[in-house]
Amino acid sequence: MMNNVKTAALLAGMAGLVMAIGSFWGQSGLIMAFGFSVVMIGGSYWFSDRLAIASARAKPVGPDELPEFHRVMAELTAAANLPMPGLFVSPDPQPNAFATGRNPHHAAVCVTQGLLQALTWDEIRGVLAHELSHVRNRDILTSSVAAAIASTITFAARMAMWGAIFGGGGSGGRDRNGGGLEQLALIVLGPIAAAVIQMAISRNREFAADASAARLLGTGEPLAQALDKLDLYSHRIPSNVNPAQSQAYIVNPLRGGGMQKLFSTHPPVDERISRLRNGTWV
């Protein structure tokens, strides 16, 4: 519940940034920003599954090809009272997994070939419970909205920048001396703030999916063991995942340090494991 409240607050903050930047262009700027946002949200929402599956070069697998995969998912969906998602396998050698789809009736869960080779089926059950929790919590919609709003903020900031350069300003009645610094700050810092908020939303939803998975299984240990292995392999086995799709995976397939940690789409694995083993999810 608290994770949902935090997510709503973060989305509201992003919406506020859109309004603030769009206001430099007056009502027309707000309308353009809103229209751009609607198009972005709609596109990412309706086509997220196709884009993610295609990007991972994943193929659908039937019960004859991977019977255990289908059996475990059938048990989990029955326990969660959810429809069976499409099941896919990516040739990626790095152990990982993701869920996609606009709602529980149009969902897909994809695991990598590396995951099937590196984890036990008890650990895979934990991973699948996590991904199914993303579907049940409609996190694909949340992440699509967050990404679209972040894109809108960047678009609006660029509009304001070019307006200022060419003298149109779009200042909406602000005097040049009083509003110049404020406008410059929003143009420069708005997209950065949007990216930070978007990453915070993603990290928040990962914690929520971990907790939901543990509740579904009645224990956090299988997922904790899986995360421990996945984190280790992610440092050892490189992945060619599209950076735009990396936030969908259960652990970050692309590693980086320094300032990149600020923009990380995933919370620290050690903290996730600690929460699962300390019963924070109860």
Which residues contribute to the annotated binding site for Zn(2+)?
Answer: 130, 134, 206
Measure Cα distances from 144 to 63, 88, 148, 151, 265 in Å: 30, 21, 6, 11, 14
Examine the residue annotation and report whether 65 is marked as an active-site residue of this protein: no
Contact call for residues 98 and 45 (beta carbons, < 8 A) = no
Integer Rg of the chain from CA: 21
Strands (E), 40-190: 59-60, 86-90, 97-103, 106-112
Residue ranges for the known binding site are 130, 134, 206
- Residue 2 CA to residue 211 CA, distance in Å, equals 12
Q: Look up residue 172 and give its two tokens.
A: 């909406």
Q: Find the catalytic residue in 65, 75, 131, 221.
A: 131
Measure Cα distances from 265 to 37, 195, 244 in Å: 21, 10, 11
The identity of residue 279, as a single letter, is G
Contact call for residues 24 and 169 (beta carbons, < 8 A) = yes
Residues designated catalytic: 131
